[in-house]
């Protein structure tokens, strides 16, 4: 099939590469000329395991191309997929202006008797119908628009794997022909497909993210209580997770969820519920717990140093989670903001997210590409992203390299026993602290 994808970010690019890989002819369109030019040269603008190789392979096969000219991409594809951002507005609701712009561009350039317009972006219930309306109110000639809600569930850091091995594909449509076409599109992937109405498909995405965020805030609250009652969250998580009704995933205590999805999607769902006069108390609590969780790391450190004024600290990890260069809504940024406001001198380490961090943090911090260099002569280290490089970095080296070895581990990367044996100051989440 001939597919046009609007928006070539994490979702659009990964989807485009994967659909080309299974044999479709894909054009990825983006308004960002620089991004498109780099992609035309086979350079991925995002870090994602496996993407570089499949990108180049499918460009050479002539199944994957890139464009920043919307007049050529929307005229006659079999399917148009919308994968633009839906960031948070000030009131927490989803900003649909990018989706609206795509709809308007489609209405201007579409030149077929019928078209399937698929929304992969995460959008509030009711948006797909608006997309249809936005296209139809300006379309030049009679063309039948079928809309399909096909929310995306990939995780950054394993996005290609997830696309090829997803748990399910959700197809929300009221037109049987369009739904069948979508099933054909994805059939080489052999992933279970669930067909729903449009509104249910839209809701599945928000409810999934809200549930996962709830699991994270739940285990973080249990961890906070464990610290006070002398229990160990690692054992507690294991014991809970062995119950198959609960499952062990998303039960790792830490400093909370971040990234471009959970924070905005939870807030958007609270707003969506509010719009229909339903106060979503549970999700509000989940968000509050998450907002507070990174602050606990700072509180722990203050127990040792009092104030951060002129204290030399290192923050290990900038990405919101390992295996991605995405720093959007990263807990690291929350920790850094407070440290800088309170006058700390901050070194930062991240294996791949430094370029993105520089755009936000500029020269307010000093960047290092090795852990050794970042922690040298510091008084406190904060671990905020559980990179493999951090987990494999010997705990003993903190003792050797830091001025005063105080390690505040927001991701439980080390064993408490080991820190105790080394006689260092070590505080983590939901476990006993050692000094
Ligand atoms: P992104 O910010 O990485 O990419 C969005 C892209 O859209 C950008 O390259 C931007 O230049 C482009 N764009 C903006 N306006 C455009 C227009 N009018 N026409 C064409 N391109 C345009 O965003 P993302 O992380 O890929 O997320 C996209 C959507 O998918 C969001 O709704 C998000 O919530 C959802 N989602 C994201 C993830 C994830 O892990 N990133 C997972 C599931 C769902």
The mean pLDDT of the chain is 96
Q: What's the average model confidence in pLDDT over 405-416?
A: 97
CA of 7 to the centre of ligand 1 (A): 6
Q: Over the stretch 359-380, which tens digit does the pLDDT of each residue have? A: 999 999 999 999 999 999 999 9
Q: Can you give the three-state secondary structure of the chain, one letter per residue?
A: CEEEEECCCHHHHHHHHHHHHCCCEEEEECCCHHHHHHHHCCCCCCCCCCHHHHHHHHHHCCCEEEECCHHHHCCCCCEEEECCCCCECCCCCECCHHHHHHHHHHHHHCCCCEEEEEECCCCCCCHHHHHHHHHHCCCCCCCEEEEEECCCCCCCCCHHHHHHCCCCEEEEECCHHHHHHHHHHHHHHCCCEEEECHHHHHHHHHHHHHHHHHHHHHHHHHHHHHHHHCCCHHHHHHHHHCCCCCCCCCCCCCCCCCCCCHHHHHHHHHHHHHHCCCCCHHHHHHHHHHHHHHHHHHHHHHHHHCCCCCCEEEEECCCCCCCCCCCCCCHHHHHHHHHHHCCCEEEEECCCCHHHHHHHHCCCCEEECCHHHHHCCCCEEEECCCCHHHHCCCCHHHHHHCCCCEEEECCCCCCHHHHHHHCCEEECCCCCCEC
pLDDT of residue 143: 78
- How far is the centre of ligand 1, averaged over its atoms, from the C-alpha of 59 (Å)? 21
Ligand 1 neighbourhood includes 256 CB (under 6 angstroms)? no
Compute, in angstroms, the gap from residue 29 CA to the centroid of ligand 1: 11
Hey, do 2-196 and 234-427 end up sharing a CATH topology, with the first three levels equal?
yes
pLDDT single digits (tens) 302-314? 999 999 999 999 9
The answer on pLDDT for 20 being more than 70 is: yes
Specify the pLDDT at position 127.
98
In this prediction, residue 140 carries a pLDDT of: 67
Ligand 1 pocket residue status of 29, Cβ below 6 Å: yes
Mean pLDDT for the stretch of residues 278-302: 97
261 lines ligand 1 (CB under 6 A): yes
Give residue 210's pLDDT band: very low, low, confident or very high (50, 70, 90): very high
pLDDT at position 74 is 95
Residue 242 has pLDDT above 90, yes or no: yes
Ligand 1 pocket, residue 7 CB under 6 Å: yes
In this prediction, residue 295 has a pLDDT band, given cuts at 50, 70 and 90, of: very high
- Whether 331 lines ligand 1, by a CB cut-off of 6 Å, is no
Mean pLDDT across 283-290: 98
Q: Among residues of the chain, what percentage have pLDDT more than 70?
A: 99
How confident is the model at residue 335, as a pLDDT?
97
Ligand 1 binding pocket includes 11 (Cβ within 6 Å): yes
CATH classification number, 234-427, choose in 3.40.50.720, 3.40.1280.10, 3.40.50.620, 3.40.50.300: 3.40.50.720
- pTM listed for this prediction: 0.95
What is the percent of the chain where pLDDT is above 90? 97
Q: 2-196: which CATH topology? A: Rossmann fold (3.40.50)
**Residues 105-118: what's their mean pLDDT?**
93
pLDDT over 80 (residue 142): no
> Which residues are annotated as catalytic?
261
pLDDT above 90: residue 113: no
Band the pLDDT of 258: cuts 50, 70, 90.
Answer: very high
Residue 141 has pLDDT above 70, yes or no: no
Q: Which residue among 38, 71, 84, 324 has the greatest number of ligand 1 atoms within 8 angstroms of its CB, and so is best to mutate?
A: 84
Domain boundaries, the chain: 2-196, 234-427
Read off the pLDDT of residues 35-50 as tens digits, 9 standing for 90 and up.
999 999 999 999 999 9
For ligand 1, the distance from its centroid to the CA atom of residue 31, given in whole angstroms, is 11
Interface confidence: ipTM more than 0.85: yes
Question: What value does the mean pLDDT take over residues 61-88?
Answer: 96
Distance (angstroms) between ligand 1 centre and the Cα of 381 equals 34
pLDDT confidence band for 139 (50 / 70 / 90): confident
Pocket test for ligand 1, best of 14, 16, 30 (most atoms within 8 A of CB): 30
């Amino acid at each position: 099939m001939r597919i046009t994808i609007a928006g070539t970010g994490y979702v659009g690019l990964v989807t485009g590469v994967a659909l080309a890989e299974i044999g479709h002819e894909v054009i990825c369109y983006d308004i960002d000329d620089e991004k498109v030019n780099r992609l035309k040269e086979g350079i991925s603008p995002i870090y994602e395991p496996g993407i570089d190789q499949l990108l180049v392979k499918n460009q050479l096969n002539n199944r994957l191309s890139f464009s920043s000219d919307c007049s050529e991409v929307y005229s006659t594809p079999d399917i148009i997929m919308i994968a633009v951002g839906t960031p948070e507005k000030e009131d927490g609701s989803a900003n649909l202006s990018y989706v609206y712009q795509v709809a308007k561009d489609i209405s201007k350039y579409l030149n077929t008797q019928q078209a399937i317009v698929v929304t992969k972006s995460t959008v509030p219930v009711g948006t797909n119908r608006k997309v249809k309306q936005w296209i139809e109110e300006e379309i030049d000639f009679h063309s039948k628009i079928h809309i399909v809600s096909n929310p995306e569930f990939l995780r950054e850091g394993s996005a290609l794997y997830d696309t090829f091995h997803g748990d399910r594909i959700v197809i929300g449509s009221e037109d049987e022909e369009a739904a069948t076409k979508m099933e054909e599109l994805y059939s080489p992937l052999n992933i279970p497909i669930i067909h729903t109405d449009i509104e249910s498909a839209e809701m599945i995405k928000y409810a999934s993210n809200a549930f996962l965020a709830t699991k994270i805030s739940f285990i973080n609250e249990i961890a906070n209580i464990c610290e006070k009652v002398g229990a160990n969250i690692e054992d507690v998580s294991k014991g809970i997770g062995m119950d198959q009704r609960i499952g062990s995933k998303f039960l790792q205590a830490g400093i909370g969820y971040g990234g471009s999805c959970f924070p905005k999607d939870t807030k958007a769902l609270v707003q969506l519920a509010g719009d229909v006069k339903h106060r979503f108390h549970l999700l509000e609590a989940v968000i509050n717990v998450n907002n507070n969780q990174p602050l606990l790391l700072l509180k722990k450190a203050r127990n040792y140093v009092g104030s951060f004024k002129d204290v030399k600290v290192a923050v290990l990890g900038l990405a919101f989670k390992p295996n991605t260069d995405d720093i959007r809504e990263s807990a690291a940024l929350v920790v850094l903001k407070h440290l800088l406001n309170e006058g700390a001198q901050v070194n930062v380490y991240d294996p791949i997210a430094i370029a993105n961090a520089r755009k936000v943090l500029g020269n307010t911090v000093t960047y290092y590409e090795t852990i050794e260099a970042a922690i040298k002569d510091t008084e406190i280290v904060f671990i905020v992203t559980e990179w493999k490089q951090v987990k494999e970095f010997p705990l003993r080296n903190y003792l050797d390299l830091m001025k005063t070895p105080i390690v505040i581990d927001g991701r439980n990367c080390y064993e408490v026993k080991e820190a105790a044996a080394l006689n260092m100051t070590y505080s983590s989440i939901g476990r006993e602290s050692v000094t």
